[in-house]
Amino acid sequence: MPHPSDVSQQQRSASMQNGSEAEDHIHGAAHPHAVLNALLSVKACQQQRVQQYSTFNASFRRYLDTGEETAYRQAMVEATRAFSQVNETVRAQERHLRQELHEDALADSLSALQKGEEAKLRFTLIQQALKQSASEGRFSWQTHLEGTLSPEAHPAAANSAPGVLHDSSNGHAHGCCGAVAEPTQQEFSSALAEATQELQAAVMSINDILEELQEVEESLSEAA
């Protein structure tokens, strides 16, 4: 199975090729105004995503500073709802480009954009879950000097990060009743670094695609 960053690189390469082909094709498109309107709609969706991420990330930073979880959870609900609405709009434009305007290359770019956004959200949540776990001091390697663990543990947050928690075969300390073992400090750091790397790869993929779409948009605007 290819590494996620390799997949992202393949998506960027394919998207760059599709973007070049799309631009050549669009100059002779039968419906340039319809294509331009579709791209402008997607552009507006991306602006909404940027604004929503700004609000969501700010709420997470406040949570880390204050420990107040209610507002952060509410922000997560609102972000989920907003991203879902944006996703539907982008998918509708993808279908419009592919089925009605026969712009398969541009539709493929929107499909790749959606995959990049899905990866960005996934690794944003994983990164936040890891940072949340660390901020609560729930790991023994954080609190062994005091000899206590934080009583306000929320295992679901850490469990959302693949590779962070391991089964009993690794020989680390376990909880009772078959509970999974906590990560070592090295495992935690590696998981956080991997999530950050994958998040950066997703952002790079998204930016590459948006740059290509912007070039097509400018070409169509000049021809209008």
Rounded Cα gap, residues 67 and 135, in angstroms = 9
List the Cα angle 130/125/199 in 5-degree steps.
95
* Buried-exposed string 32-49: b where 16+ CB fall within 10 A, e elsewhere: beebbebbeebeebbeeb
Rounded Cα gap, residues 4 and 100, in angstroms = 33
- Given pLDDT bands bounded at 50, 70 and 90, which one contains residue 142? confident
Question: 37-96: per-residue pLDDT in tens?
Answer: 999 999 999 999 999 999 999 999 999 999 889 999 999 999 999 999 999 999 999 999
Q: Count of domains in the chain?
A: 1
SS (H, E, C) 8-30: HHHHHHHHHHHHHHHHHHHCCCC
Q: What range defines the domain where residue 110 resides? A: 4-223
Q: Is 201 in a helix, a strand, or coil?
A: helix
Rounded Cα gap, residues 17 and 157, in angstroms = 39
Rounded Cα gap, residues 109 and 201, in angstroms = 17
The answer to which of 6-20, 144-158, 203-217 has the lowest mean pLDDT is 144-158
